Amino acid sequence: AQSVSQHNHHVILSEAASLELGCNYSYGGTVNLFWYVQYPGQHLQLLLKYFSGDPLVKGIKGFEAEFIKSKFSFNLRKPSVQWSDTAEYFCAVNASSSASKIIFGSGTRLSIRP
Amino acid sequence: GAVVSQHPSWVICKSGTSVKIECRSLDFQATTMFWYRQFPKQSLMLMATSNEGSKATYEQGVEKDKFLINHASLTLSTLTVTSAHPEDSSFYICSARRGDGDYGYTFGSGTRLTVV
């Protein structure tokens, strides 16, 4: 069974700082990888996803993530964060088969100091 | 874009009563829908996977007789919390997977259930 680990539970940064949130998954087969964001009081939104091809994936709002297969990692990055990036970030994985369930990591709360 | 509507957004019910939560895909056909539960400041825990026209597949530890799931059409899945207790109070979120090939998943806005 697949699992996802997010080691940073709460990250606090100042505006304009660079961001990297860690995500590691455990699964022996081919996977699809996702990063979702949940702004305060709002529902989950997809930031970016990786299915195949270029391991460096660019998403919305300046976010990107790099799939490193040898490390089973899919870290999320942003070169310069803004106060509006304050939110909960979830890494997720599913096995590459149709109708497969998505398993979420425990989430990382990102707080940006203005 | 794909939109999933979840209703109600919040509900308060008395212990022992049942509550039904609806999840609708508004502009696409969802071959598969997922139900999650999210406790405060925690991640989403998958409860069950439902496929249109067949029985739902429940995750380990989830009581299928307590959390009834019906996926009657390609645009509607319902979750009924039967004989609700205060410990069932939580945030319930549905997700719908489009039937096309890009494995797109869209999430509903969630339902806050409070059992008193």
Of A81-85, B34-38, B98-102, the least confident = B98-102
Percent of chain B surpassing pLDDT 90: 65
Q: Which amino acid is at B8?
A: P
By CA distance, what is B48's nearest residue in A? A101
> What mean pLDDT value characterizes chain B?
90
Q: Which amino acid is at B10?
A: W
How many angstroms separate the CA atoms of B78 and A69, rounded?
37
How many angstroms separate the CA atoms of B52 and B75, rounded?
9
B16 Rama class: left (phi>0) / alpha (psi -120 to 50) / beta:
left
Mean pLDDT, residues B83-90 taken together: 95
Q: Report whether pLDDT(B100) > 70.
A: no
How many angstroms separate the CA atoms of A8 and B30, rounded?
34
Segment A19-65, tens digit of pLDDT: 999 999 998 788 889 999 999 888 788 899 998 899 999 999 999 99
Of A17-21, A58-62, A73-77, B50-54, the least confident = B50-54
Q: Which string of DSSP letters, residue by residue, matches A7-69?
A: --SEEEEETT--EEE--EEE-SS-EEEEEEEE-TTS--EEEEEE-SS-SEEE-GGG-EEEEEG
Q: Do A90 and B44 touch (CB under 8 A)?
A: yes
| Phi and psi torsions of A86, nearest 5° | -60, 120
List of chain B residues whose C-beta atoms are within 8 Å of the C-beta of residue A102: 34, 46, 95, 105
How many angstroms separate the CA atoms of A95 and A15, rounded?
36
**Residue A67 pLDDT class (50, 70, 90 cuts):** very high
Q: What is the 8-class DSSP label of residue A99?
A: T
Q: Report whether pLDDT(B72) > 90.
A: no
How many angstroms separate the CA atoms of A70 and A81, rounded?
28
Q: Do A102 and B46 touch (CB under 8 A)?
A: yes
How many angstroms separate the CA atoms of A5 and A35, rounded?
13
List of chain A residues whose C-beta atoms are within 8 Å of the C-beta of residue B46: 101-104
Closest CA to A72 of A101, A46, A105: A105
Q: Do B42 and A106 touch (CB under 8 A)?
A: yes
Closest CA to A2 of A114, A86, A91: A91
List of chain B residues whose C-beta atoms are within 8 Å of the C-beta of residue A104: 36, 43-46
By CA distance, what is B107's nearest residue in A? A44
Contacts of B21 (CB under 8 A, 6+ apart): B6, B7, B8, B11, B78, B79, B80, B81, B92, B94, B111, B113
Q: Which two tokens stand for residue A6?
A: 């997010």
Q: What pLDDT does A48 receive?
A: 93
